[in-house]
Amino acid sequence: MFMIDVRRVDMHTHTRCSDGVLSPAALVQKARAAGLSAFSVTDHDTIEGVQEAQETGRDAGMEVIAGVELSVVVEDDDVHLLGYFFDPDDEGLLRHLERGRTDRIRRVKEIVSRLNALGMELSVEEVFEQAGGEAVGRPHIAAALVEAGHVKSEQEAFERYIATGKPAYVARERVSGIDAVDLLHEAGGIAVLAHPGHWISDYVIRTLVEAGLDGIETIHPSHDKMLTGYYTSLAKRFKLLRSGGSDFHGRPNEGERLGAYSIPYPRLERLRRRAHAIQSGLERTS
Ligand code: AMP
Ligand code: FE
Ligand code: FE
Ligand code: ZN
């Protein structure tokens, strides 16, 4: 009998290990309640939450795919790359993530001293207290600024001080997107371009395709119907696998994002097949 596969998958979520709110275990429960069959934990610069999510997932009958979101630079533009199916013990990848987190700490210190120079009393410790895991970032600074009473909302913290180009903004270390694609492949993983609708030019996408990019997010909350259609046609043109997800951080203003932005299960299988092809290529050359 022919059966329609109704399973849905969210390939983009965050936990408190980076700038999300929920623990990995709580995210698994929430994903189940949202009707998902599988999802990936894609924290910024850390895979700290993956194991807990996978262990909880095993008990809850929820498939959890190892993932990570990397901040890289391509042709001078800031780009986010999602990695999946990599070996979580790969030394090259772990070293890269560690370096990214060290740079995040350096940057928090610099932003805090800029805020101090602007007359705001705030300590680096107050920022670290807001972080629930290894990867500390601007959302934690924004939360600390609210807590200290310097701004009324996290949005105001970004708009007045820490968004790109604002007085306390400090850039992160610039990592090449082309190198990051290689790194993910060498770890047996695949590389997917995150939310291209965030002002990523087709030229940047082409550069990444030439570097071996495997897939592109067509589904994302920042993509309207037009953009989803556009990136779907681009995926066909560049022979990229289509992926997508909710980019859920567990924040109240995100509404019912989880479950509302997902891909059909067969697309997850295509992504996995690509990873297996990369992994057998690695075995042949080692
Ligand atoms: P970071 O990785 O430390 O640079 O922080 C990036 C995160 O900060 C993003 O994932 C967003 O959640 C948040 N963010 C960046 N820019 C803004 C903005 N202009 N307003 C609100 N949140 C922002
Ligand atoms: Fe984020
Ligand atoms: Fe992102
Ligand atoms: Zn994200």
Residue 181 pLDDT? 98
Q: What are phi and psi of 145, to 5 degrees?
A: -65, -35
How many whole angstroms from 109 Cα to the centroid of ligand 1? 17
Phi-psi region of 195 (alpha: psi -120 to 50; beta: other; left: phi over 0): left
Element (H, E) at 69: strand 63-74
How many whole angstroms from 146 Cα to the centroid of ligand 1? 15
- In this model, does residue 141 exceed pLDDT 90? yes
How many whole angstroms from 162 Cα to the centroid of ligand 1? 9
- In this model, does residue 1 exceed pLDDT 80? no
Please, what's the b/e burial string for 88-117 (b: 16 or more CB within 10 A of its CB; e: otherwise)? eebeebeebbeebbebbeebbeebbebbee
Q: What is the average pLDDT across 58-73? A: 97
Residues with CB under 6 A from ligand 1: 19, 44, 137-139, 155, 158, 163
- In this model, does residue 148 exceed pLDDT 90? yes
Substitution candidate for ligand 1 out of 158, 160, 175 with most atoms within 8 A of CB: 158
Nearest residue (CA) to ligand 1, atom 9: 139
Nearest residue (CA) to ligand 1, atom 19: 163
How many whole angstroms from 69 Cα to the centroid of ligand 3? 7
pLDDT digits (tens, 9 = 90+) for 270-284: 999 999 999 999 988
pLDDT digits (tens, 9 = 90+) for 181-200: 999 999 999 999 999 999 89
pLDDT over 90 for what percent of the chain?
Answer: 94
pTM higher than 0.85 for the full model?
yes
3-class DSSP state of 259: coil
| Single-letter code of the amino acid located at 205 | I
Residue 176 pLDDT? 97
pLDDT digits (tens, 9 = 90+) for 75-124: 999 999 999 999 999 999 999 999 999 999 999 999 999 999 999 999 99
Q: How many CB atoms lie within 10 A of CB 190?
A: 28
Q: Which ligand is nearest to the CA of 171?
A: 1
Reported confidence tier of residue 56, pLDDT bands at 50, 70, 90: very high
pLDDT digits (tens, 9 = 90+) for 214-231: 999 999 999 999 999 999
For residue 163, which atom of ligand 1 is closest to its CA? 19
The angle at the Cα of 217, spanning 108 to 18, to the nearest 5 degrees, equals 25
Give the whole-angstrom CA distance, residue 13 versus residue 8.
Answer: 14
For residue 154, which atom of ligand 1 is closest to its CA? 21
Reported confidence tier of residue 72, pLDDT bands at 50, 70, 90: very high
Q: Which ligand is nearest to the CA of 45?
A: 1
Residue 271 to residues 36, 64, 79, 210, 240, Cα–Cα distance (Å): 17, 14, 20, 18, 10
Q: Which ligand is nearest to the CA of 155?
A: 1
Residue 276 pLDDT? 98
How many whole angstroms from 80 Cα to the centroid of ligand 1? 12
Residue 151 pLDDT? 98
How many whole angstroms from 249 Cα to the centroid of ligand 2? 7
pLDDT digits (tens, 9 = 90+) for 108-122: 999 999 999 999 999
Q: Which ligand is nearest to the CA of 42?
A: 4
Residue 11 pLDDT? 98
Residue 169 pLDDT? 98
Nearest residue (CA) to ligand 1, atom 11: 139
- In this model, does residue 3 exceed pLDDT 90? no
pLDDT digits (tens, 9 = 90+) for 163-177: 999 999 999 999 999
> 207: burial class by Cβ within 10 Å (0-12, 13-18, 19+)?
middle
69 strand-pairing partners: 44, 82
